Amino acid sequence: MVAADNAVADPQMILRLLAYGVLVVGPDWRVLYANPEAERMFGSKGTTLWERCPALEQTAFAAGFRYAMADRTELLSESSLPAIGWCQARARPTPDGGLLISMRQVNAHTIETGQAKTALVMAEIGDALTREESLRSALVRCAQAMVRQLDAALVRIWTVDHDAGELTLCGSAGIETGDPQQNVLKLGEHKVGIIAEDGDPYLTNDAATDLHIGRTAWIRSERIVAFAGYPLRIQDRIVGVMALYSRNKIDHDMLNSLSSIADAIALGIDRKTADVARRHAEDRLRKQAGYLEVLHILGQQLAAVLDVEVLVQKVIDAATRLAGAQLGVFFYNLPNEFMLYAISGAPREAFDKLAVPRSTTLLAPTFIEQKVVRIDDLRASEQYGRTGPHFGLPPEHPPITSYLAVPVTGRDRKRIGALMFGHERVGAFTAETQRLIEGIASTAAIAMDNARLFREAHELIAALEKSNRELDQFAYVASHDLKAPLRGIANLAQWIEDDLEGQLNDQTREHLHLLRGRVSRLEYLIAGILAYSRAGRDRGEVERIDVGRLVKETWELLAPPPTAKLVVEPNLPVLMTSRTQLQQIVMNLMSNAVKYNPGRELVIDVGMNKRGRQYEFFVADNGVGIAPEYHEKIWGLFQTLERRDKVESTGIGLSIVRKIVESLGGTTRVESRPDAGATFFFTWPAELDGESST
């Protein structure tokens, strides 16, 4: 007795003994369990429910089960199952995402017909709104299900665009009305438009005498009895209108069913619309990401390419791709004509036989007036085909229907050329395309200006290098050719003095001495000019220099008088620089201090202050000083503050100092006043040619 009780309590035994089928499917419709009755109804061969019972696809059960799976809602439906008969099924969601399906054979009238029909309609509507890709196809299926299951004569479903103030017919099924179908209505137009505007449903079982719903003749001829118009509402938003015409009166239960159906369709429209908007947004984002990738690559190429021809080809290739054009060309704006510079989308040979473009009514606005021209269909444009001899495109020209031309304008509104695009399809170029190409044209103009300036700079540098070489050659030849006769004059003066020794009076001897002095001064002047011409260009090798040691070595080379003393500050750095240039500057500044303070107890102080990435060196003395009005003049070529007869000087030393310092991006200055000494400052890079200083 105990064993028998346990057997009855076994759940598996109970399921096997049930008179109706019990079947469990997973989220992928894989059959997880089926009792014997379920295997009799659905079959036992196959992995999924649809493989076990292919006939299900032809019944209302298929739509009902899919709706229950998708919306995770319990659903009761009935339909005829081939080879089994009329059945009733209940689908209930399981926690793992699948369904528990129970099915039994019933008499077709054992459940309320209204409930069954409503369930079937809801199942088909759910399946349509879930499985159909487009909103229109989903709403057509919804209308067909209502006509089939609710015995409606005509069902129409409209969607509302509040921004446009319009309703659009998206789903229709049933008998024809006999009059031209109006697919778009204004809000407030006809009864459907009024329902959309007011948000109130409209119901009547006396359609033949109700003048509000219109189509009186058709209603009477088709014996239409009832009309129901429902706003499809999501909270406080009207997303559409559902209109149903029936030859039978609409009772209370039918009204409840229509209300539920309207809610389901409204929710489906809202979801579908949101899905479409999301897909469109994703498409736009993908498209914009593609644009950004092309623009990023183009930007890198424009920054790296300085050859105009290569640059323009990259621009037209990228712009043609972004515009979605079949053909893209860049025409260069020459003084009297337009020259084809680059082409994309067609072989260049296609244009070789064509004449040079002229200022036609189509091209002049872009070429001459620098305006953007966008035409959806050239054949319908007044700007096209008004200039001979072809009055349109030449026969050999690639076919074009859509046209877009954007001027490329450089600095100071200078005309560079134009980007032009074509496509055989009407309306191929949008306002968004136009804005995109305008941005590329602006970027291309900057890049082309930069490339032109780079080319001009290189040409200028080459010309300058040639000029410097010629100047060096001239300075060398001039100094050589001038020094030879000067040496001859000096030698001749010495020979005269030697030959006439004892016969010269003091005045003649003084004149010969002055002559030799002038010759010597002229030799120094020539040497100074040669040094000045080379200053700042011949840097010599960059090496590690202890500046303090270099200053002391330079002081010894000067062979200063006993009255002069050098003080070297301990903070002078060790740096990588040109010994030749730095030593020339230090020597010129210290020699000037000695030269202009003869016989004076002179102290020369050399030190440094750090100024960011530069050193500011100074050479100070306690000499006679310089009046403020001469602080700038002394840096000029051949400028001295003493007569050359008094102080032998070419007036070139400080000019050489400034030229060398400025060639390295530095500055020079002097601080001084009479009888208070002078301090000369010059800046020097802490790093030269990329080498670090210490």
Q: How high is the pLDDT of residue 490?
A: 66
Q: How high is the pLDDT of residue 316?
A: 86
Q: Please provide the average confidence, as pLDDT, over all residues in the chain.
A: 81
Spell out a b/e string for 106-145, using b for 16 or more CB atoms within 10 Å of the CB, else e: eeeeeeeeeebbbbbbbbbbbbbbbebeebbebbbbbbbb
Of the options 1.10.1270.20, 3.30.450.40, 3.90.1660.10, 2.40.110.10, the CATH number for the domain spanning 130-277: 3.30.450.40
Cα–Cα distance list, 132 to 160, 161, 675 (Å): 20, 21, 101
Upstream peptide bond of 82 is cis (omega within 30 degrees of 0)? no
- The SS3 call for residue 160 is strand
CA atoms within 13 A on the CB side of 622: 12
Query: Is a pLDDT exceeding 50 seen at residue 109?
Result: no
Q: How high is the pLDDT of residue 689?
A: 46
Neighbours of 348 (CB within 10 A): 10
DSSP β-bridge partners for residue 22: 102
Residue 226 — pLDDT band, cuts 50, 70, 90?
A: very high
- CB 326, CB 424: distance < 8 Å: yes
Query: Is a pLDDT exceeding 60 seen at residue 7?
Result: no
Q: What radius of gyration, in Å, describes the C-alpha atoms of the chain?
A: 50
Q: How high is the pLDDT of residue 24?
A: 95
Of the options 3.40.50.300, 3.30.565.10, 1.10.1740.10, 3.40.50.2000, the CATH number for the domain spanning 537-685: 3.30.565.10
- Greater pLDDT, 397 or 269: 269
| DSSP-assigned states of every residue in 45-89 | -SSBHHHH-GGGGGSHHHHHHHHHHHHT--EEEEEEETTTEEEEE
DSSP β-bridge partners for residue 202: 229
| CA-wise closest residue to 666 among 686, 692, 648, 652 | 686
In the chain the first and final C-alpha atoms are separated, in Å, by 105
330: CB partners within 8 A, 6+ apart? 312, 315, 316, 340, 341, 342, 343, 408, 417, 418, 419, 420
Amino acid in position 650: T
Task: Tell me how far apart the alpha carbons of residues 291 and 278 are, in angstroms, rounded to a whole number.
Answer: 19
Please give the average per-residue pLDDT across 196-216, as a whole number: 87
Percent of the chain whose pLDDT exceeds 90 = 26
Could you confirm whether domain 305-534 is CATH 3.30.450.40?
A: yes
- Greater pLDDT, 561 or 364: 561
Task: Tell me how far apart the alpha carbons of residues 438 and 124 are, in angstroms, rounded to a whole number.
Answer: 51
Spell out a b/e string for 524-534, using b for 16 or more CB atoms within 10 Å of the CB, else e: ebbebbbbbbb
- Greater pLDDT, 462 or 562: 562
Q: How high is the pLDDT of residue 61?
A: 85
Q: How high is the pLDDT of residue 1?
A: 42
CA atoms within 13 A on the CB side of 88: 15
Task: Tell me how far apart the alpha carbons of residues 256 and 394 are, in angstroms, rounded to a whole number.
Answer: 69
- Greater pLDDT, 604 or 380: 604
Q: How high is the pLDDT of residue 96?
A: 92
In the block, tokens 């109970």 appear at 14
- CB 174, CB 219: distance < 8 Å: no
Most confident option among 73-87, 300-314, 328-342: 73-87
DSSP β-bridge partners for residue 101: 23, 91
Most confident option among 384-388, 427-431, 502-506: 427-431
Q: How high is the pLDDT of residue 608?
A: 92
Neighbours of 607 (CB within 10 A): 18
Distance of CA 577 to the CA centre of its chain: 43
- The SS3 call for residue 7 is helix
Query: Is a pLDDT exceeding 70 seen at residue 527?
Result: no
Locate 25 and state its tokens: 């499917």
Instruction: Catalogue the E-assigned strands of 247-396.
Output: 327-333, 338-344, 373-375
Residue 512 — pLDDT band, cuts 50, 70, 90?
A: confident
Task: Give all strands of the β-sheet with 402-409 in edge-to-edge order.
Answer: 338-344, 327-333, 415-423, 402-409, 373-375
Query: Is a pLDDT exceeding 70 seen at residue 410?
Result: yes
In the block, tokens 């020369």 appear at 604
Q: How high is the pLDDT of residue 670?
A: 92
Residue 595 — pLDDT band, cuts 50, 70, 90?
A: confident
Task: Tell me how far apart the alpha carbons of residues 581 and 578 are, in angstroms, rounded to a whole number.
Answer: 6
Query: Is a pLDDT exceeding 80 seen at residue 21?
Result: yes
| CA-wise closest residue to 207 among 220, 196, 195 | 220
Q: How high is the pLDDT of residue 693?
A: 43
Query: Is a pLDDT exceeding 50 seen at residue 690?
Result: no
- CB 519, CB 493: distance < 8 Å: yes
Locate 199 and state its tokens: 């948000």
Residue 442 — pLDDT band, cuts 50, 70, 90?
A: confident
Which range among 184-188, 521-525, 619-623 shows the weakest confidence by mean pLDDT? 521-525
Q: How high is the pLDDT of residue 125?
A: 85
Please give the average per-residue pLDDT across 228-232, as a whole number: 94
- The SS3 call for residue 281 is helix
Of the options 1.10.10.10, 3.30.43.10, 3.40.50.360, 3.30.450.20, the CATH number for the domain spanning 20-111: 3.30.450.20
Query: Is a pLDDT exceeding 80 seen at residue 539?
Result: no
| CA-wise closest residue to 215 among 197, 203, 227 | 227
pLDDT tens per residue across span 24-82: 999 999 999 999 999 999 999 999 999 999 888 877 788 889 988 988 888 888 777 76
- Greater pLDDT, 472 or 582: 582
Task: Tell me how far apart the alpha carbons of residues 673 and 626 are, in angstroms, rounded to a whole number.
Answer: 5
Q: How high is the pLDDT of residue 447?
A: 77
Which range among 11-15, 73-77, 583-587 shows the weakest confidence by mean pLDDT? 11-15
How is residue 362 annotated by DSSP?
T
pLDDT tens per residue across span 246-256: 999 988 878 88
The angle at the Cα of 89, spanning 84 to 93, to the nearest 5 degrees, equals: 140
Q: How high is the pLDDT of residue 28?
A: 94
Backbone angles phi, psi at 182, to 5 degrees: -95, 110
Query: Is a pLDDT exceeding 50 seen at residue 293?
Result: yes
Residue 579 — pLDDT band, cuts 50, 70, 90?
A: confident
Task: Tell me how far apart the alpha carbons of residues 346 and 329 are, in angstroms, rounded to a whole number.
Answer: 9
pLDDT tens per residue across span 638-670: 666 554 444 445 567 788 888 888 888 899 999
Task: Tell me how far apart the alpha carbons of residues 607 and 616 are, in angstroms, rounded to a whole number.
Answer: 9
Boundaries of every domain in the chain: 20-111, 130-277, 305-534, 537-685
Which range among 167-181, 495-509, 589-603 shows the weakest confidence by mean pLDDT? 495-509
- Greater pLDDT, 91 or 212: 91
The angle at the Cα of 440, spanning 438 to 441, to the nearest 5 degrees, equals: 65
In the block, tokens 């960059």 appear at 542
20-111 against 305-534: fold identical: yes
CA atoms within 13 A on the CB side of 375: 23
Query: Is a pLDDT exceeding 70 seen at residue 607?
Result: yes
